[in-house]
Amino acid sequence: MVVGDFPIELDTLVVGAGPGGYVAAIRAAQTGQKVTIVDKGTLGGVCLNVGCIPSKALIQAGHRYAHAKGADEMGIQSENTTVDFSKVQEWKGKVVDKLTGGVEGLLKGNSVDIVKGEVYFVDKNTVRVMDDKNSQTYTFKNCIIATGSSPIELPNFKYSDRVLDSTGALNLKEIPKKMVVIGGGYIGTELGTAYADFDTEVTILEGTKDILGGFEKQMTQLVKKRLKKKGVEVVTNAMAQGVEETKDGVKVTYEVKGEEKTIEADYLLVTVGRKPNTDEIGLEQVGVEMSDKGLIKIDKQCRTSVDNIFAIGDIVEGPPLAHKASYEGKIAAEVIAGEKSEIDYLGIPMVVFSDPELASVGYTEKDAKEAGYEVKASKFPFAANGRALSLNETDGFVKLVTRQDDGLVIGAQVAGANASDVIAELGLAIETGMTAEDLALTIHAHPSLGEISMEAAEVALGTPIHIK
């Protein structure tokens, strides 16, 4: 501790300013707590700066370009569509800047003190925050840890100018002619799709038997069909062996069915998962209990094994989703304020911004049966919906999982255009205990994609109008 380092006293310290941390800080301040939030990086964390937001901006730009090139079946043709990728990146940056600036305004507007630096825990009520020049001690009654995660780096695929993590792929200065993606999860599929829309020749190497694990095969089949149409080659059960960097690109070696193969490309994108940022912040000094994967163990109120320290987001069990982190942040802040809040993950949606989009909330049919429920699965296709037809987006379906005895909605899956939006109503149905009859009786605007949920509910009731 430096001379003159008098401790600053707080009610609540939030470590990490991503979508979990900044939401937790604002909610804590709203309950009357004196709050400081600390982050060594930019406000908004991975999600706003190098994750959710910029990736969706790039995906949208790719879609716009692909659509602008023409739709022959609609009578639209264009042979002169071009891309100024520097302007795409400039636009993407403006989207990010607007949101991160907004986060700063929200924190300040709620009287949250913002501090930049690295945190190290001294004990259960004390941290030291360090930057390049200074060290300051803070004492707190409660702390919420929201330090997020980082891309996993494989030993044989060290990141470089040509071997990229997701951040590197988002910030390329050029559209690659060829790109290899290791990992067919949501990040690899999303970014692979984005660059394929920009006419990059993409190859996805997935180590398991299918891409987008966790989603039903009927859903992933639709994505693979679109990927093939875009010229993307998906190689499953492919084990990446190594990479050789050349002057202008990479040579990637992989094994499939016992045969070793090599593929050349301009860039290699490695997306094999993320690891929690729980090292080197002094958690061992405090006695916070952790799993062998470096995840912090929490109870249903996001409380760790140390009663005044809470953890949320990618550093705890569960999928690394920004909206999950925000949800947990609110819970932790409310518990500190004495409210009877606790986490319930059933209503948290999983979304992939693939083409078409995939979304799932609650139980799948398989999971529901394994949990002991007798269920009915009811589907309605996009192809029988007027709005989907007018959008020329007829691939996909809405599937409802309802309890057999009373029609209670306990799960839903959506594959198709705007699935990320359609899933919201179905999540609400689960959260509020709605039945298939409730959904069917809700009048939906026509023509709209939202009608498909109503139609699927009518299928569940045995009274469908627009399919036999």
Q: What pLDDT is stored for residue 3 in this prediction?
A: 45
Q: By the 8 A CB rule, do 180 and 244 touch?
A: no
Which tens digits make up the pLDDT trace of 365-400? 999 999 999 999 999 999 999 999 999 999 999 999
C-alpha to C-alpha distance for 305 and 240, rounded to whole angstroms:
39
Q: What pLDDT is stored for residue 1 in this prediction?
A: 43
Number of helices (H), then strands (E), belonging to the chain: the values are 14, 24
C-alpha to C-alpha distance for 311 and 297, rounded to whole angstroms:
8
Q: What pLDDT is stored for residue 71 in this prediction?
A: 78
Q: What pLDDT is stored for residue 77 in this prediction?
A: 83
163-272 — its CATH code? 3.50.50.60
Q: Which residues are catalytic?
A: 446
Which tens digits make up the pLDDT trace of 77-91? 887 889 999 999 999
C-alpha to C-alpha distance for 180 and 183, rounded to whole angstroms:
10
* Structure-derived torsion over alpha carbons of residues 415, 421, 426, 432, reported in degrees to the nearest 10: 160
C-alpha to C-alpha distance for 100 and 106, rounded to whole angstroms:
10
- 447: preceding bond cis by omega (within 30 degrees): yes
- The pTM assigned to this predicted structure is 0.95
Q: What pLDDT is stored for residue 76 in this prediction?
A: 85
Q: Which sequence spans correspond to the domains of the chain?
A: 8-150+275-345, 163-272, 356-461
356-461 — its CATH code? 3.30.390.30
Superfamily (CATH H level) for 8-150+275-345: FAD/NAD(P)-binding domain (3.50.50.60)
- What are the pLDDT tens digits along the chain (468 aa)? 444 579 999 999 999 999 999 999 999 999 999 999 999 999 999 999 999 999 999 999 999 999 888 778 888 888 788 999 999 999 999 999 999 999 999 999 999 999 999 999 999 999 999 998 889 999 999 999 999 999 999 999 999 999 999 999 999 999 999 999 999 999 999 999 999 999 999 999 999 999 999 999 999 999 999 999 999 999 999 999 999 999 899 999 999 999 999 999 999 999 999 999 999 999 998 999 999 999 999 999 999 999 999 999 999 999 999 999 999 999 999 999 999 999 999 999 999 999 999 999 999 999 999 999 999 999 999 999 999 999 999 999 999 999 999 999 999 999 999 999 999 999 999 999 999 999 999 999 999 999 999 999 999 999 999 998
For 94, residues 6+ apart whose C-beta sits below 8 A from its C-beta are none
The position carrying tokens 């799709």 is 193
